[in-house]
Structure 1
Amino acid sequence: MIIGIPKEIKPQEYRVASTPDCMKRLINQGHSVLVEKGAGIGAGFLDTDFIQAGAEIVDRNKLFEKSEMIYKVKEFFPEEFQYLREGLIIFTYIHSNAHREQTDAFLEKNVIGIAYEDIQDQNGEFPLLKPMSELAGKGGFIMACQYAQKSNHGSGLMLNRVHGVRTPHVTIIGAGTAGLGAAELAAAFQNQVSILEIDLNKLEQAKYKLPPNVELLCSNHNNLIACLKKTDVLMNCILWPKWRKDHLVSKDMLKMMKPGALIIDVSCDEAGAIETCRATSHDDPIYIEEGIVHYCVDNIPSTFARTATESLANATLPYALELANKGPKKALVENQALRKGLSFYFGNLTLEETGKKQNRSYITPEEALGMRA
């Protein structure tokens, strides 16, 4: 199979889909890899690194023209829609529920779209979200340290225990991979940390991973309100169902928070768990609403592009190999985890949450693949 790795065009996106080492695995199994000129620069990989691994460096037009599978990091933007064609395999973070124009284009062009974020293994885990979730949680806390600074429109609070002054409080919603990553750093900086989680098993597991300055709370209304009133930083690390119209933290609830407190929405579901969340960029990362500073950048891991690229490439490679070695239909039929990520198949929408959020008709991946009537 001919696999194309384009340069990401999302503003401030520095990751690339594969490292030279991971690329060698694809090439050694008989596949050809095309890399767009300069695709790896942001992550610290030169074109010569990819050439030494056996790839061919090409321009964007040739890459999309020749490739059978596009292997990338972020969703497609309108200027990339011209390159779509029937049967082209798109393997990336798609986030179709949040991008109606992209959904229209993928359906119109009859592509095969497989979303990293929806691949789910037999244990219910999301293996291609997990490495980026850890970086997003840890990076989110690093950004909290930055945007708590007065020079960045914050309250001027140092998120660290300093003798003689009150120790800051950090509230983290969710004890998943992102939440634990955020808690690990927040606790290491000796803040008072509270984690809110509805899954008591996750809280029990967190007890053995985190130090005593992390309070582990069942997520309910009373505990949430108590945390909102005292916290200096609120970090959202849960994914909110895309079709839900309610919110965990409403706009009115922000009035309970300290003036100048900071919200870091790691998950960045627009108007999701936090009603006032709207996606921002690294160029313009914050806004203030109800006196609360909001940081809602939707690609935090890009800031740590080298680490993020290596971690993501390691996680996606087995699935990319399976698609390339078996072809998309056989790979999807035989691998249930991969099939969970199927969002588009020759003009059919196969992702329930996008169908519900965008009020579109959809079918199951199994129906699309002819596995059952």
Structure 2
Amino acid sequence: MLEKKTMGFVNSHKENEKRIALLPEHIATITNKEKLFFEKGYGDALGIPDAEYMALGCVIQSREEVLRQDIICEPKIGDSDFLSRLRKGQTVFGWVHAEQNRDIAEKLAQSEVKAYAWENMDYMNRHCFWVNNELAGEGAIMHAYQLIGEMPYNTKVAILGRGNVSHGAQKILLNLGAEVHIYNRNQEELFKKELPNYDVLINAILWDLKRTDHIMYREDLQRMKKNAMIIDVSCDRGGAIETTVPTTIDNPTYMVDGILHYAVDHTPSLLYRTASRSISEEISKYIDDLIESRANATLEASVVAVMDPMYK
């Protein structure tokens, strides 16, 4: 029988990232509680004292001690400041996005750690973190409209994409009275024709990295309404929208040729309590399998193949 692994949970150092991966309320479903190590102050942002984790049989340690554990979990682990400092044989568990970021892929390859990527986790043909994806759309709409001092019911909106992010954006917009038009991937030309009709454009498409074109080029900004806004929830630099550059919660917008761009790359953190609860409920299902090295099809399908030729 394989020796059980330990699992460390660290706080994110990413700007304004307040989501955490595991709440005390979901630890009751986990068998190997004594194998869970949490950084001191892990639940501070949500008002959860260390004592709650300790009372469940978990261990509280310093950040450096937690980072020595076999498996390291952090929601935005691809943006972490410790990825390149991990040792061979360790495992990471979180949103990695190595496929979209060569620097992350290279760090994983150099440190020779195994990565289970949340973005690749599906169960019965549904993305495991679909709630978080909807929150990305919801958070982006709420934040961006507040920044421009406008209510959605005064705007006509185009949404690119029909996935979970799009669905979250739609819920907020429709509930607040916006006129919403949705375009499928096969309606790019129709969208381009109708672009001048809209006050707000929302991009919710997961961009195909093999594409070298854009749906919207910089010159297309001249065809938009005066004071129009682009909300790029997908945040792919130079992806569907040529002028997209990912931004932060502290500095969420920028102007290009008179068009306001909003491209915050972790909008669910704006709704960090709801997001943390949904993440915790989901990952608690997989922790014992990780610790006990048990076969799990969802986990194995999510492993990032960092030695694949595309990363070389």
Asked if 2 retains the 8 angstrom alpha-carbon contact of 1:50 and 1:56, the reply is: yes
The partner residue of 1:349 within 292, 307, 310 is: 307
Amino acid at match of 1:13: E
Q: Structure 1: where are the runs of 5+ without partners? A: 150-156, 161-166, 199-217, 361-373
Say whether the 8 Å CA contact 1:287–1:293 is kept in structure 2. Answer: yes
| Change over 3 Å in CA distance of 1:38–1:219 after alignment to 2 | same
Change (3 A) 1:188 1:62: same
Paired position in structure 1 for 2:19: 15
Q: Aligned equivalents of 2:276 and 2:137: distance in 1? A: 16
The answer to whether 1:52 aligns with 2:19 is: no
- Once residues 14 and 97 of structure 1 are traced to their aligned partners in structure 2, the CA distance between those partners, rounded to angstroms, is 24
| 2:193 counterpart residue number | 225
1:118, distance to aligned residue in structure 2 (A): 1.3
User: Do structure 1's residue 132 and structure 2's residue 136 form an aligned pair?
Assistant: no
| In structure 2, C-alpha distance between the alignment counterparts of 1:50 and 1:69, rounded to whole Å | 18
Q: How far 1:321 sits from its partner (Å)? A: 2.8
Q: Which has the higher contact order (CA 8 A, sep 6+)?
A: 2
Give the TM-score normalised by structure 2. Answer: 0.92
C-alpha distance after superposition, 1:18-58 (max 9, x if no partner): 111223333x3465111001222223322222222322111
Aligned counterpart, 2:245: 278
Q: State the identity %.
A: 29
3-state SS in 1 of match to 2:304: strand
1:158 corresponds to 2:144: no
Q: Is the contact between residue 84 and residue 111 of structure 2 (CA under 8 Å) also seen in structure 1?
A: no
TM-superposition CA deviations, 1:138-190 (whole Å, max 9, x none): 111112321222xxxxxxx4322xxxxxx420111111111111111111111
Deviation of 1:320 (Å): 2.8
Which residue of 2 is the match for residue 363 of structure 1?
none
Matches within 5 A, 1:170-185: 170-185=157-172
Name the counterpart of 1:212: none
Distance 2:9 2:33 in 1: 17
**Aligned letter for 2:108?**
F
Q: Which residue pairs with 2:105 in the alignment?
A: 103
Residue 291 (structure 1) aligned with residue 258 (structure 2):
yes
Q: Deviations over 1:74-98 (max 9, x none)?
A: 1245741454011111001011134
Give the secondary structure class of the aligned counterpart of 2:138: helix
Instruction: State how far apart, in whole Å, the 2-side matches of 1:138 and 1:79 are.
Output: 28
Using structure 1 for the length normalisation, give the TM-score.
Answer: 0.77
| Aligned pairs for 1:81-92 within 5 A | 81=83, 83-92=85-94
Which contiguous aligned blocks of 4+ residues in structure 1 show a shift greater than 6 angstroms?
none
| Matched residue type, 1:341 | S
Q: Deviations over 1:55-112 (max 9, x none)?
A: 21110111112x1111110124574145401111100101113443332221112111
Q: Secondary structure at the match of 1:86?
A: coil
Mapped contact 1:43–1:309 kept (Cα < 8 A): no
Q: Distance in 1 between matches of 2:246 and 2:141?
A: 17
Instruction: Give the Cα–Cα distance (whole angstroms) in 2 for the partners of residues 78 and 197 of structure 1.
Output: 34
**Does 2:105 correspond to 1:147?**
no
Secondary structure in 1 aligned to 2:127? coil
Q: Secondary structure at the match of 1:234?
A: strand
Task: Tell me: CA distance 1:192–1:179, structure 2 relative to 1, closer, same or farther (3 Å).
Answer: same
- SS of match in other structure, 2:77: coil
- Equivalent residue for 2:45? 42
* Residue-pair matches, total: 308
1:305 alignment counterpart = 272
Q: Distance in 2 between matches of 1:231 and 1:82?
A: 44
Q: How many angstroms apart in 1 are the aligned matches of 2:123 and 2:307?
A: 21
* SS of residue in 2 equivalent to 1:305: helix
Q: 1:339 aligns with which of 296, 300, 305?
A: 300
Is contact 1:23–1:33 with CA below 8 Å preserved after alignment?
A: no
| 2:223 maps to which of 218, 231, 256 | 256
Letter in 1 for 2:307: L
5+ long unaligned stretches in structure 2 = none
